Structure 1
Amino acid sequence: MIVLTAHGTRDPAGPKVIDELAERVRARGEPVTVAYADVRDPDVTTVLDGLHPEAGAGEAVVVPAFLAAGYHVRTDIPAQIAASAVPRARVAEAFGPAPELVDVLVDRVRQAGFRAGDAVVLAAAGSSDPRALDEVSTAARALGTRLGAPVRIGYAATAAPSVADAVAGARRTGRRVVVASRLLAPGLFQRRLEEAGADAVSAPLGAHPAVADLVLRRCAEARDGRTGRGAHPDRHAGQDQTVRLSA
């Protein structure tokens, strides 16, 4: 059983994407239920408490549908697992700068009308955690290599430069500017990208088949013991960072 855990948003488009992603994974033969770390219900504790032994509660894997391992992934989700009836549930790694997501970014940017010679701004949610920002930089380098184009980074919140400032900087090169959305779902942050003044803005990553591939890979890694087996929120005490996919 995969417990696919998203941040949560009041925008109804966000849960729709998570539900679509869960359905893609189910279609490949893996049972999936959805939980939220914040904003929406049910939380991870509630979902794990509701699993019956015959439904595979003992084999449950919590897969954080987060693009970076910030506060929610490092602290909130482990705490919710520890408070549940399955406190030793396995926890997968967050999505991070996985190659599957670079594939999705390339697809989305091309669908948005990217053409040779364009400048690209990789737009992420933003974070105060340098590890999360490092992951964005890794994704930007990989995207630039795949597109053969210069890629700047902009943030929808928290970090600098803003997406609008990054677009303005890219505009000074005289190129068309395309924003590559490194958000999982539509919402407030995606609207900020669309208002940043670029010539084109890609759709969020969404329930792309490659994102479903990544969910299954993260689950398999956790089951193989390549990630943490249980929840230990005390190991991450004192971290004060929040990463959101959309708002």
Structure 2
Amino acid sequence: MVAHGTRSVRGVQAVGDLARAVARRVGTVRVAFVDVLGPSPSEVLGEGDGAAVVVPCFLAAGYHVHTDLPRHVAASGRPEVTVTAPLGPDPLLADALVRRLRAVDWRPGDRIVLGATGSSDPRARADVAAMAALLAERVGDDVAHGFQAAGEPLVSDEVARLRAAPRRVFVASYQLAPGLFHARLHDVGADAVTAPLGVAPEVVELVAARFTAVRAASGRA
């Protein structure tokens, strides 16, 4: 299970909690990080020589999924590695986001901005837009989306734009774990910000499903 990495102790703990929850469904799960801290994917994969399944725990497919992770797999020298699709966009994540919104008193009619980190990769930005569309289907209303680190529109600009209407504005945090980018969402002027997706049951189910699909296809189910 590969995550981005964070200096937040709570963020690292959240990734560990997710790995343990998934392990209860599928068996042994190892965690690796592509940035900030270790172990790296190449280090974890290099510790064995059997078949391995890598699940990228990213909510959109940008540089880390398309470039960084394949480089780590090649550097590991492990001969039989399958890399699954990342987590998002996916309808299960939309279900989790709706539950997170309800937990902060969102109600039908309130406006929503899906708050993502951002990426220089247009494919990642397209994934976030697709996730906003899936969430819109669930709530029966338009859902805006915005970025913080790279890409437009900015989350803060979208919140300000929606403030023009006499309705409350909620930010649905499109973050897997607590960290710097989730914390910044609390400064954009929304009425409330949801918790990160973390160990939401839908996320656990999605990670486990990515793994079991590979296992089933290889005849090891």
Decide: shared fold, TM above 0.5.
yes
Report the equivalent of 1:60: 52
- Confirm or deny: 8 A CA contact 1:118 1:149 kept in the other structure: no
What does residue range 19-98 of structure 1 map to in structure 2 within 5 Å?
Answer: 19-51=16-48, 57-98=49-90
Report the equivalent of 2:93: 101
Q: RMSD over aligned Cα, in angstroms?
A: 1.5
* Per-residue Cα deviation, 1:32-82 (whole angstroms, up to 9, x for no partner): 01011111110111111223xxxxx52210111111111111111111111
Look up the equivalent residue of 2:60 and give its one-letter code.
A
For 1:29 and 1:134, the matched residues in 2 are separated by: 31
Unaligned 5+ runs, structure 1: 52-56, 227-247
- Among the aligned pairs, what percent are the same residue? 48
For 1:75 and 1:191, the matched residues in 2 are separated by: 27
For 1:109 and 1:155, the matched residues in 2 are separated by: 19
Which residue of 155, 176, 181 corresponds with 1:184?
Answer: 176
Look up the equivalent residue of 1:132 and give its one-letter code.
A
For 2:69 and 2:142, the matched residues in 1 are separated by: 36
What does residue range 228-239 of structure 1 map to in structure 2 within 5 Å?
Answer: none
Report the equivalent of 1:206: 198
Alignment partner of 1:157 is 2:154:
no
Which residue of 139, 158, 164 corresponds with 2:131?
Answer: 139
- Confirm or deny: 8 A CA contact 1:179 1:201 kept in the other structure: yes
Look up the equivalent residue of 2:36 and give its one-letter code.
V
- Confirm or deny: 8 A CA contact 1:92 1:221 kept in the other structure: no
Q: Which moved more, 1:76-85 or 1:190-199?
A: 76-85
Moved beyond 6 Å, runs of 4+: none
Look up the equivalent residue of 2:22 and give its one-letter code.
V
SS at match of 1:179: strand
Look up the equivalent residue of 2:10 and give its one-letter code.
A
How far does residue 110 in structure 1 lie from its aligned partner after superposition?
Answer: 0.8
Look up the equivalent residue of 1:200 and give its one-letter code.
A
Give the structure-1-normalised TM-score: 0.84
- Confirm or deny: 8 A CA contact 1:35 1:41 kept in the other structure: yes
SS at match of 1:28: helix
Report the equivalent of 2:121: 129
- Confirm or deny: 8 A CA contact 2:169 2:192 kept in the other structure: yes
The number of equivalent residue pairs is 218
For 1:162 and 1:11, the matched residues in 2 are separated by: 23
- Confirm or deny: 8 A CA contact 2:25 2:208 kept in the other structure: no
- Confirm or deny: 8 A CA contact 1:81 1:88 kept in the other structure: no
SS at match of 2:213: helix
How far does residue 149 in structure 1 lie from its aligned partner after superposition?
Answer: 2.5
* Per-residue Cα deviation, 1:168-207 (whole angstroms, up to 9, x for no partner): 0111011100110111111111111111000111011111
Look up the equivalent residue of 1:135 and give its one-letter code.
D
